[in-house]
Structure formats: structure tokens, C-alpha cells
């Protein structure tokens, strides 16, 4: 069974401002680069395949982490990229703050959020749509004879966690996914994930 280790990218200026990034290609902030440089992954990450979202913040995070892999150990193949790991599309709300949208949207916003997996920003993407594009990628990884480290985004990790746990996103998750943590899933032959370990602490996190 394939082991999949998921990590969210390090902080950006928009993260620090509480803005929804979506497809906006924001780089890591100076503080974000410094934070990622303190992280250390489990030793088995050195021999895994590494894949990331094509957005700068994910690529930078992966590149910093790969430089910190144990010296003299097995060497991971080159860093791959896959557009299916890109963040959920926030559409017309990209760059805005969620609290501001809730204040302005009132009951309509609350009703939209109550749709859970079918919550959708105007001209954006629902968590269910994220699952639909990520599941074929999960199937492909399950068919390979190696473990995987993927550096991606909060929306993608939450969508995969929902697949693994049955969480419908209508309320709080069974386990809160913390920042600056890794999350390990096991992939069945059909790509369906199951939870192996959540919120794995990274050195310095």
C-alpha cells in the first residue's frame, strides 16, 4: 500500500494578512522561508517521490525541504509538479478576507458555507470539485511502487482528508489539521485514501 505524506506550503504575505490565495501565484514570505528552513521530515521522505503544486509557494517549500534531506541517504528522484495539486479556485473572492466576506454576505454566505463539500465561491471551485480532480492523481500514485511526498495547499489537503474520513465539511473536521504539520495517508489500489497519521510534528514547528 502506498504511503502519501502531505504538507501544506509555508507562509506567504497573504497568509499573514488572512487573504484567500486560491490560484494567485504568491511566493513564500521571508518569514515563511525562514520557517520552512526549520522543518525536518521523517527519514523515509528521502527515498520517496516528491511532487508539488506548480504554484511558487509550494515549489519553494519543496525545494527548501529537499535541501534538508539527510545527507548520504537514499536520493529522491527529481521534484515533479502536477497541476491537479493546485489550490482550490476561490474565484471572485480571491485576495479577500473570509471574515469580511462573512460580514458582507450575511445569511447567504452562511447558507453557502453550510453546503459543506458543495460550498462554492462565485466563479470558483467546490471542495467536491477538488476531490474529483485529485482522485485520479491518487489512483496514479497508488499504482506506482514507491511512497510519495506531496507539497500542496490547505484546500487540497482538506479535500483528501474528507475522502479519507467521510467528513462532509458541514461542520468542524473530526480532527483539526494544524499548520506546519505533515499528514500521512495510505492509498488503496483504487487510490482511495485512509488516515495513517495526522498533524505529524516537524522540527521547529
Q: Does the annotation count 63 as an active-site position?
A: no
- What is the chain's length? 205
Would you list the DSSP string of 97-147?
BHHHHHHHHHHHHHHHHTTGGG---TTS--HHHHHHHHHHHHHHHHTSSS-
Q: Does the annotation count 87 as an active-site position?
A: yes
**Among residues 60, 87, 94, 125, which one is catalytic?**
87
Cα–chain-centroid distance for residue 163? 14
Pairing of strands 80-81, 2-8: unpaired
Residues 6+ apart with CB under 8 A from 90: 20, 21, 22, 23, 121, 124, 125
Give me the sign of the Cα torsion angle 68, 70, 75, 76.
negative
Catalytic site positions: 9, 87
Amino acid at each position: 500500500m502506498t504511503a502519501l505524506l502531505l504538507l501544506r506550503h509555508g507562509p506567504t504575505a497573504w497568509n499573514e494578512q488572512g487573504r484567500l490565495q486560491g490560484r494567485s501565484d504568491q511566493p513564500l514570505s521571508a518569514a515563511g522561508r525562514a520557517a520552512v528552513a526549520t522543518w525536518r521530515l521523517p527519514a523515509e521522505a528521502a527515498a520517496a517521490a516528491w511532487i508539488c503544486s506548480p504554484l511558487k509557494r509550494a515549489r519553494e517549500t519543496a525545494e527548501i525541504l529537499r535541501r534538508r534531506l539527510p545527507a548520504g541517504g537514499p536520493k529522491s528522484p527529481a521534484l515533479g509538479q502536477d497541476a491537479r495539486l493546485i489550490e482550490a479556485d476561490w474565484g471572485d473572492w480571491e485576495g479577500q478576507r473570509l471574515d469580511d466576506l462573512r460580514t458582507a454576505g450575511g445569511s447567504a454566505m452562511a447558507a453557502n458555507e453550510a453546503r459543506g463539500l458543495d460550498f462554492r465561491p462565485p466563479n470558483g471551485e467546490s471542495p467536491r470539485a477538488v476531490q474529483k480532480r485529485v482522485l485520479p492523481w491518487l489512483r496514479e500514485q497508488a499504482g506506482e511502487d514507491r511512497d510519495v511526498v506531496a507539497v500542496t495547499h490547505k484546500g487540497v489537503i482538506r479535500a483528501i482528508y474528507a475522502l479519507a474520513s467521510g467528513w462532509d465539511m458541514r461542520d468542524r473536521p473530526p480532527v483539526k489539521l494544524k499548520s506546519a504539520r505533515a499528514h500521512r495517508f495510505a492509498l488503496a489500489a483504487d487510490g482511495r485514501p485512509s488516515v495513517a497519521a495526522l498533524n505529524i510534528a516537524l522540527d521547529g514547528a
